[in-house]
Amino acid sequence: MAAWLRNKKLLVGMVLLALVVGGAAFWWSTRDNGAPTYREVAVTRGPIEVTIVATGVVQPRNRLEIKPPIPGRIESVLVVEGQDVAQGQVLAWTSSTERAALIDAARARGPEEVKRWEEMYRATPILAPIRGTLIARNREPGQTFTSADAVFVMSDRLTVKAQVDETDIAKVKLRQRARITLDAYPDTGFDGVVEQIAYDAKTVSNVTTYEVDVLPVKTPSFMRSGMTANVNFRVESRQDAVLVPTAAIKVRDGQTYAMVPAPDGTQVEREIRVGVSDGRNSEIVEGLAEGDKVLITQLRKKSKNNGSGGTNPLSPMRRKRN
């Protein structure tokens, strides 16, 4: 009987020990699932460009409607939409209402009568008042018009009216270079220059913007008034910068640092000085060199039964400054 009791106590003790060891192992494994892991990335060297992105609309810089001074009829049109015309070039020939009536009456009496009246009352030309592009042709031969009708519409240059957020407007300067892309032609960009910055702001839905005119260096043939455009203003650039992913940069207590691997397999903090950033990559001015390794923190997915999580005490963190 005594031997049976001793065996029973021993069995109970072994079960309790197994439960304690198993519970501890389970607790640590679930706790460790929330510990951070690191992805190693090499420090590279290359170009970086900081830009401001804004949207806008293509509009004529100077839009001019051509309206004849007196009503009449179009006899012939000599230009087409999209054509570049010189100042003073004849766009169309017109007849006044009186001349049109006389010519129509002469046709009933034969071609000689028509010729005589055409020589007596010559057609009136419509001339281009500026050098530019014809963007609208609103009348065809034989159609009539009044003095209020815009027979033609011209523009000297097409420009992009971009809306720049007030938080970025201080970074935009006159003559600053920009890259323009049209929604209709997303794969074909072209260069532009900041020509004008509005002094008066616009506020829509509590968002304040300033209108910036961006003039194409060379206007592409496919550019049309009314198109939606995306403008990238070039704020700052480096051609040969030391670069790391911005995700690798940490800031704490006013100090900037990056995690780097130590020879013993742990991770250490190295102080760095950061230059320009495009959001994805950042320039490193001091603290890292091309070929160095940095660590980007990645969190593991926690177990459903996991508590608050923590770091593995076998992988201590050391702080090191260069």
Quick: pLDDT tens for 45-104. 999 988 999 999 999 988 899 999 888 889 899 999 989 999 999 999 988 877 777 777
Question: Which residue range forms the structural domain that includes residue 113?
Answer: 62-155
Which tokens in the block code for residue 286? Answer: 């001091």
Side chain identity, residue 114: V
- The mean-pLDDT minimum among 37-41, 71-75, 193-197, 316-320 falls in 316-320
First to last CA, the chain: 73
Instruction: Report if residue 190 sits inside a domain.
Output: yes
pLDDT at 316 over 60: no
Q: In the chain, pLDDT over 90 holds for what percent of residues?
A: 50
pLDDT on residue 16: 57
Query: Among 139, 155, 171, which residue terminates a domain?
Result: 155
Same domain, 254 and 288: yes
Cα dihedral sign, 74-79-80-82: negative
Residue 310, SS3? coil
Mean pLDDT of 128-144: 92
On whether the CB atoms of residues 144 and 89 are closer than 8 A, the answer is no
Same domain, 171 and 196: yes
pLDDT band, very low/low/confident/very high, at 265 (cuts 50, 70, 90): confident
Task: For 178-207, write each residue's pLDDT tens digit.
Answer: 999 999 999 999 999 999 999 999 999 999
**Tally of domains within the chain:** 3
Residue 261, SS3? strand
Comparison of pLDDT for 3 and 190, the residue scoring more? 190
Instruction: Report if residue 2 sits inside a domain.
Output: no
Residue 283, SS3? strand
Query: Among 120, 155, 190, which residue terminates a domain?
Result: 155
Mean pLDDT of 290-302: 79
Which tokens in the block code for residue 256? Answer: 């900037």
For the CA atoms of 198, 199, 204, 205, what is the dihedral angle to 10 degrees?
A: 130
